[in-house]
Copies of this chain bind each other. A is one copy, B any other.
């Protein structure tokens, strides 16, 4: 088995994340005043795409537990039928690990990002991502993803010939 690959953790920006999905944040977003000026609407921050094969949007809350450091990345998943958006409900940083769309994925394909507590992400359809990686126990996220029939989760567990990746945070 190859030696574990340690991933560099990059800051999360719209430009760096464009290939993988949307960064949901107010900085740099289109906005306008509503409600007689008492509210600012930062408008349409993510491309929600969940209607394939009769799908419909779900709103859920995910509560994450921290994993021991260094975090081991041994698998990735993607959702062929729908986007999946996460927004943190408390202002704590968290980690995002993604890889480009494609039939195969391995440690060498991964990109790791540190998301600030006021940044959400929306994984586009088919983009490989690791399940939720929080840095504090009981970190909650509002999640908007797809409900409906069809097989909407593809997992790939790295084989012995691929090895694993590490996040030293």
Contacts and interface: CB of A to CB of B under 8 A. Distances in A.
A62 to B, nearest CB: 5
A56 interface: yes
Interface residues of A, number: 44
A53 interface: no
7 contacts: A24-B59, A24-B142, A34-B131, A38-B64, A48-B59, A90-B90, A120-B142
Contacts of A26: 61, 63, 140
Nearest to A45: B59
Given A35-B131, A48-B57, A56-B48, A62 B85 contact: no
Name the residue among A85, A87, A118, A142 with the largest chain B CB count within 10 angstroms: A142
Contacts of A39: 62-65, 131-132
Contacts of A143: 41
A40 interface: yes
Contacts of A118: 89, 140
B64 A44 contact: no
Given A35-B131, A43-B58, 16 more contacts: A24-B59, A24-B61, A39-B62, A39-B131, A41-B62, A42-B62, A45-B60, A48-B56, A48-B57, A48-B58, A50-B57, A51-B56, A57-B144, A59-B85, A59-B144, A87-B89
